[in-house]
Structure 1
Amino acid sequence: MKKILAVGSVVALLFLSEQTSWAQPRGESLKAMYSTIGGSQAVLWIAKEAGFLKKYGLEVEPVYVSGGSANVAALLSGEASFSQNAGPPVLGADLKGADIVFIAGVVNQLPYVLISSKDIKRAEDLRGKKVGISRFGASSEMVARLALRKLGIDDRTEVTLMQVGGVMERFASLQSGMIQATVAELPVPHRLKETGYHVHLDLTKAGFPYQHTGLTVRRKFIETKPDTVRRFVRAYVEGIHYFKTQKKASADILTKYLRTADQRFLAETVEVFAEYVPKIPYPAISGIKTVLELFYPDKANAVNPGDFADMRFVRELEESGFVERLY
């Protein structure tokens, strides 16, 4: 009888171990970067603050590194293991030999507007003016150039691009008159719109797929620590579910990272980006193709957009029914 009980206990323990293996705390510490202060970065913050990363044994420190190009450099140097970044800086580095891949696609369109100071009432008035970006090589530079071209303004000869810093620094520079225009993620703070600043172009209405924010990692890291990547993506997908279903709690988390207590702005940010983020966050291959065609046209036809993404981790969660069970 004792032997039967002992065997039964072992079986039960093995069963429980299998059921909880994903959630075993392993105390693995790592850093994950984000490249801008905006709603497109919310999933990482929520996965951290709501406890999903810890649930899967990951002690993650979110680190703000302003600008996508700086994020790429830090990822390649080993300063961090993961990075939320946009297509242009990642693909630009990969085309030069880097081994960074998108393992999740968070915002697969362009949630940007071009906004100007009060005295710039028409797009043509931007000629001869200064347009603020975070830094050269970053997504803000690429988006600013794209927006200016769509407005019929030569981004090389008719304006001056100035490296100002993150979005908060760019808004401050806009208000001080250091620059006359900049690009920013939606939603544009209502206090700017209500005090006379002008939105000249909303790129969300451009109507094409675009790999904006995605979760990136080096292939080398995937090869050496696939289980870490798998657990991170699992926590990330739970973070997406929380973002979509717990909007007030999500806004409370964003207060810390967006550095504001403006409840209206926080609520608008959650509404906008919870809608953008897909439940099943595959990298957008068509969006990667768009980035290549827009910013690297001389190389776009020589590469396969799918080579810049690794779909396996999200696919595993979809095929196992994990995502469906969340909802």
Structure 2
Amino acid sequence: MRSLLALLSLALLALISASSNVSADTPLRVGVVSRTFYYVPLWAAVERGFYKSEGLDVTLEVMQDATTQVSALLEGKSDITVAPTEAIISNAESGGPLRMLAGNSGKLSHFVIAQSKFKRIEDLKGARIGILSMMEGSRFHFQEIAEKHGLHYPGDYTLVQTGGAPARHKLLLSDTIDVGLQSIPWSYVAEDAGFANLADVAKYIPDWQFTTFNADGRWASANRDVVVRFLRATQRAVDWMYANREESVGIAARELQVKESYADRAWVYFTSTGAITRDMAINEKGLASVVQVMRKAQLLKGDAPVELSRYVDDSFHKDARAIAFATGPFLKTPAETKDLFDKLFANVAAKAGVAHRTVVFADWKDVGRALVAGQVDVAWMGGGSRYAEAKLAGAGPAIATALFQGKPTYRALLIARNGITFKDFPKDAKGLSLQLTHRNSTTGWLAPYAWLADQGLKPQRNFAYREGTQHRDNEIIVAKGEADLVSDSDNNRELMIRQGAIKADDGRVVWTSAPVPFDPIQVRVDLDPALAAKFAAAFVAITPEQAKQSMMTNYTGFAPATDATYADVVEAWRRYGKD
């Protein structure tokens, strides 16, 4: 018996283990060079769960230097590297499979930091220059600068391979090297330690594709979905870094082991100059500069092409950059909803110059959750209440309001059944039956509920209260005299009267709200503001004729909107949304 129980236990454990493996996140090994500010988005993506939200278990591994990424990628020790471009260019030009997938930094953020006894570049004759390696940028950068000041390699100075910026800083402190090309914030640390800042490298070399996301093209093609998910999560982390100064500074200070004041100055520099590329695109001019310098150093043949297509496969980046537009269950089936809304979203995306994908959720709450989690970028929120709930949970701003029959607003109504009169409404309505709609409706639930509550009449305590119906149902209910009071919107009541579904004297409007903004278009909180502005303009540019082809009946376009447009709705939801 004990043996049987033991066997059953082992079988159960095996089943649990197998189940866990099925749902486990995909492991991904990402190689980085040294510890520099360029990797703040990656650290943030791990810490904030952006990779996990894409089903990835990312491990960041520090490589010895940029040249070791070739063997790491080819031998499968790393799946992706985020490192300087030279080794990838050399491999690709020689017929190898390595390719760049996206950009990390298309602008140099380095300074020539020297022992305090040196005052000018010309003073560096005979000096020991610390570089990452003999095969990548810091060597070439210093040679370019030195030549402009009359110094030439190898006769006038010595190059010392040191590894990355933190290692060079230690060697400067120990006087093992005289000069190091130090990236921000290490240049700030060095200056405060008494070292001399002799030159800003970017002033000598304004265009340089410094670091990129790289992979073996064969592996990337076989794991396309994993690569796209990785780049999509990283893009979200870049956007988050640009939008969240204080938290980004905290991550940088901890990972780089520098004071927060240095990390803060670095954040300002990198975000104001675009030294960390906001859209993760490859700087074509900067990559051409790398190729030309490598030709000059005879690390490439003189006729090596400068075109991106030789070294870059940007199809993964394009797929990752596809903007996720979302909406909820507007039509009978998700397929019908997707077919209609995809036309609208495709139009907006095309005007903004981006690729897109359309996501339809079966539950409106899931639209808001996905927006808050950053799993979608733009959402048609089916009403102000849905916007308010998402906004208070951490979603971004409204950028447009849908027009219904040309109008950006409508009004909430309370309708009394025939035969009821009031002398002091709503006080003398206390105790009557009240039917509000489902809680997703701004005019059918939130607006009338908030107004009554503000009058001191909480619906659950002061009425025979029910909720959960549709607007159309409420009109039928009150017309039949099945409830004393019901909620609706002016546009729905007018439409039902025109259609003959009810008569104008079926019930009596006893309360009309102030104008309520119609359905909002909302974006995730850390979406690039410039891109959000493009989307806003594209929605507002939709013409009534275009609306007929890509929007539901009676929707005629969009008006501009901001968070201020929905401020009253948000405040009402904040006070009463959880009642």
> Does the CA-based 8 Å contact 2:113-2:196 persist in structure 1?
yes
Q: In the superposition, relative to structure 1, how do residues 122 and 302 fare at CA in structure 2: closer, same or farther (>3 Å)?
A: closer
Report what 1:267 is aligned to.
Answer: 264
Higher helix share: 1
State the Cα distance separating 1:300 from its structure 2 match: 5.5
> Does the CA-based 8 Å contact 2:116-2:195 persist in structure 1?
yes
Report what 2:164 is aligned to.
Answer: 166
Q: Please say which of residues 224-233 and 146-155 is displaced more in the overlay.
A: 146-155
Q: Please say which of residues 38-47 and 224-233 is displaced more in the overlay.
A: 38-47
Map 1:4-43 → 2, pairs under 5 A: 26-43=24-41
- The higher-RCO structure (CA 8 Å, 6+ apart) is 1
Report what 2:282 is aligned to.
Answer: 283
| 2: CA distance, partners of 1:199 / 1:140 | 16
User: Structure 2 counterpart of 1:292, which letter?
Assistant: V
User: Structure 1 counterpart of 2:301, which letter?
Assistant: K
| 2: CA distance, partners of 1:305 / 1:234 | 21
TM-score normalized with structure 2 length: 0.50
State the Cα distance separating 1:140 from its structure 2 match: 2.8
> Does the CA-based 8 Å contact 1:65-1:71 persist in structure 2?
yes
Q: Over residues 292-318 of structure 1, what are the superposed CA-to-partner deviations in whole Å (9 max), with x where a residue is unaligned? A: 011224536442333211222332324
User: Structure 2 counterpart of 1:309, which letter?
Assistant: V
State the Cα distance separating 1:236 from its structure 2 match: 0.8
3-state SS in 2 of match to 1:299: coil
Counting matched residue pairs gives: 303
Within the alignment, does 1:308 sit opposite 2:311 as a pair?
A: yes
> Does the CA-based 8 Å contact 1:28-1:58 persist in structure 2?
yes
- Match for 2:53 among 46, 51, 55? 55
Q: In the superposition, relative to structure 1, how do residues 35 and 25 fare at CA in structure 2: closer, same or farther (>3 Å)?
A: farther
- Match for 2:71 among 70, 73, 83? 73
Report what 2:356 is aligned to.
Answer: 320
Report what 1:299 is aligned to.
Answer: 301
Q: Over residues 274-299 of structure 1, what are the superposed CA-to-partner deviations in whole Å (9 max), with x where a residue is unaligned? A: 33223321112221111001122453
Q: Percent identity?
A: 21
TM-score normalized with structure 1 length: 0.85
State the Cα distance separating 1:195 from its structure 2 match: 4.0
Map 1:1-327 → 2, pairs under 5 A: 26-206=24-204, 208-260=206-258, 262-275=259-272, 276=274, 277-297=276-296, 299=301, 301-303=303-305, 304-316=307-319, 317=321, 318-320=354-356, 325=523, 326-327=527-528
User: Structure 2 counterpart of 1:269, which letter?
Assistant: A
| 1: CA distance, partners of 2:144 / 2:177 | 18
User: Structure 2 counterpart of 1:64, which letter?
Assistant: V
Which consecutive unaligned segments of at least 5 residues does structure 1 have?
1-23
> Does the CA-based 8 Å contact 2:106-2:211 persist in structure 1?
yes
Q: Over residues 130-164 of structure 1, what are the superposed CA-to-partner deviations in whole Å (9 max), with x where a residue is unaligned? A: 11123332333333333323433112221111122
Bigger Rg over Cα: 2
| 1: CA distance, partners of 2:277 / 2:189 | 29
| 2: CA distance, partners of 1:112 / 1:245 | 24
Q: Please say which of residues 64-73 and 285-294 is displaced more in the overlay.
A: 64-73
State the Cα distance separating 1:323 from its structure 2 match: 6.4
3-state SS in 2 of match to 1:109: coil
Which consecutive unaligned segments of at least 5 residues does structure 2 have?
1-21, 322-353, 358-375, 379-522, 529-579
| 2: CA distance, partners of 1:77 / 1:201 | 39
Q: In the superposition, relative to structure 1, how do residues 77 and 256 fare at CA in structure 2: closer, same or farther (>3 Å)?
A: farther
3-state SS in 1 of match to 2:67: helix
Q: In the superposition, relative to structure 1, how do residues 142 and 26 fare at CA in structure 2: closer, same or farther (>3 Å)?
A: farther
| 2: CA distance, partners of 1:72 / 1:263 | 34
| 2: CA distance, partners of 1:208 / 1:180 | 25
Higher strand share: 2
User: Structure 2 counterpart of 1:57, which letter?
Assistant: G
State the Cα distance separating 1:212 from its structure 2 match: 0.7
